[in-house]
Amino acid sequence: MDPKNGSLNPMNTLLSPLSLNKRRRPKETVIKALLFFCGFFSIFITLAIVYELAKEALLFFQDPEVTLWGFLTGLTWQPKIGQFGVVPLVTATLVTTTIAMMVAIPLGMAVAIYLSEYASTRTRNTVKPIMEVLAGIPTVVYGFFALTFITPTLRSIFGPDVVQIYNTASAGLAMGILILPLIASMTEDALSAVPRSLREGGYSLGATKLEVALRIVVPAAISGISAAIILGISRAIGETMIVAIAAGAGPNLTLNPFESAETMTGYMVRISGGDLSYDSIDYNSIFAIGLLLFVLTFILNIISQRIVRHFREEYE
């Protein structure tokens, strides 16, 4: 080949300076580092939460009047007289959560089964946005609703002597309405993910629609449904404004839903809402309760996520 002609070949001029070695791109590295920092920031938040909660809670437990055992098993919470037993607050949380789940689980499941198995596309497209609206309403509005509507209704049904102005029943009911759409939409997702072939198999054996829904689809989606329920419980335990408004102030060890009782979150709001001084036992106590709340919800969330992941792998 003539070398003079070779230099005229456009491919040669294009290829000759090109090196196939990886070029160093400092700008790309910097950007990647920045983005990594953004991603890592979330870990930093978790560490900050754990660190702050633990630090202040440790100060709380260092107080001579407080012991860990007394905190977890004590039946009275009266910081003024040095009684730091968290049981009344936990009991109130359990009562409101139980009532909420008694409303939200059956209704939420029924709505989900209806939407996924029975409803026409048109009905589904109308009902789902309504549920989304219900889920998007701020919790303070549900608190207002519990105090000014559910409580008076309960009082007119059971009598004002039985039902106190502030009570855990109204808070629990409002919370149930709040959590209903969450459970309904997560359950509906789980039901819709069940492959069509399973349903067809059921029909071909002569099963009715209900039998297919309850004996084939629901069991097949059970992990997704339990994840939804666990997430709902976690949400109910951490719910704050409804109980702060409607459940009453002042810890009270009772299982009667018509009596007022303060939940863990309600206590935290009441104490921190006032002008409290740092380094007081009250200030430290909200961190101890916060730590308990954080641990509880964290465990529930992790269980829920594990279940969801397991269930995703099953059908994909």
Partner 1 sequence: MKQSPLESKFCENLPARYRTGGIWRSVFIISTLTGIFFLSILLLKIVNDSFGYIAVEYGIAPESLAVDGVPIWELPKEDLVLLLQKNVTPGRFKTLVKELPMEERNRDDILAIIVREVVEPKVAQTWTLAESIFNKQEIVATVQENYPDAELDFKAWLSWDFITSPQSSDPLYAGIRTAILGSLWLMGVAIIFALPIGTGAAIYLEEFAGKGWLNDLIRTNINNLAGVPSIIYGILGLAVFVRAMEPITSGAAFGYGLTSATLNGRTILSGGLTLGLLILPIIIINAQEALRAVPNSLREASYGVGATKWQTVWSHVLPNAIPGIMTGSILAFSRAFGETAPLVVIGASTYIVYDPTSVFSKFTALPIQIYQWTSRPQDEFRNLAAAAILVLLALLLTMNAVAIIIRNRYSRRY
Q: Which of residues 26-65 bind partner 1 (CB under 8 A)?
A: 27-28, 31-32, 34-43, 45-46, 48-49, 52-53, 56
Q: Select the residue interacting with partner 1 from 4, 17, 273, 316 (CB under 8 A).
A: 273
Taking the least distance from each CB to partner 1, the nearer of 6 and 209 is 209
Question: In whole angstroms, what is the distance from residue 185 CA to residue 112 CA?
Answer: 7
Q: Select the residue interacting with partner 1 from 214, 226, 250, 253 (CB under 8 A).
A: 214
The answer to whether 190 touches 311, Cβ cutoff 8 Å, is yes
Query: Whole-number minimum distance, CB 315 to partner 1, in Å?
Result: 19
Q: CA–CA distance from 103 to each of 83, 87, 184, 255 (Å)?
A: 34, 24, 12, 18
Between residue 157 and residue 186, which ones bind partner 1 under the rule CB under 8 A?
177, 180-181, 184
In 3-state terms, the chain is what percent helix, strand and coil (to 5)? 75, 0, 25
Query: Whole-number minimum distance, CB 253 to partner 1, in Å?
Result: 22
Tally of residues, the chain: 316
- Residue 81 has what DSSP assignment? G
Residue count at the site for partner 1 (CB under 8 A)?
Answer: 88
For 231-249, give one letter per residue: b (16+ CB within 10 A) or e: bbbbbbbbbbbbbbbbbbe
Query: Whole-number minimum distance, CB 88 to partner 1, in Å?
Result: 18
| 189 to 208: interface string for partner 1, x by CB under 8 A | -----------------x-x
Q: Select the residue interacting with partner 1 from 237, 247, 261, 307 (CB under 8 A).
A: 237
Given the rule CB under 8 A, which of 61-69, 192-200, 221-229, 230-238 is the region that contacts partner 1?
230-238
Taking the least distance from each CB to partner 1, the nearer of 95 and 191 is 191
Taking the least distance from each CB to partner 1, the nearer of 220 and 288 is 288
Query: Whole-number minimum distance, CB 76 to partner 1, in Å?
Result: 23
Between residue 109 and residue 148, which ones bind partner 1 under the rule CB under 8 A?
110-111, 113-115, 118-119, 127, 130-131, 133-134, 136-145, 147-148
Query: Whole-number minimum distance, CB 3 to partner 1, in Å?
Result: 29
Question: In whole angstroms, what is the distance from residue 258 CA to residue 219 CA?
Answer: 36
Nearest Cα neighbor of 95 from 291, 243, 230 is 243
Q: CA–CA distance from 23 to each of 5, 13, 30, 308 (Å)?
A: 31, 20, 15, 43
Cα three-residue angle 85-61-276, rounded to 5 degrees: 80
The answer to whether 76 touches 276, Cβ cutoff 8 Å, is no
Between residue 249 and residue 268, which ones bind partner 1 under the rule CB under 8 A?
265, 268
> Does residue 219 bind partner 1 (CB under 8 A)?
no
Query: Whole-number minimum distance, CB 183 to partner 1, in Å?
Result: 11
Q: Is 279 left (phi over 0), alpha (psi -120 to 50) or beta?
A: left
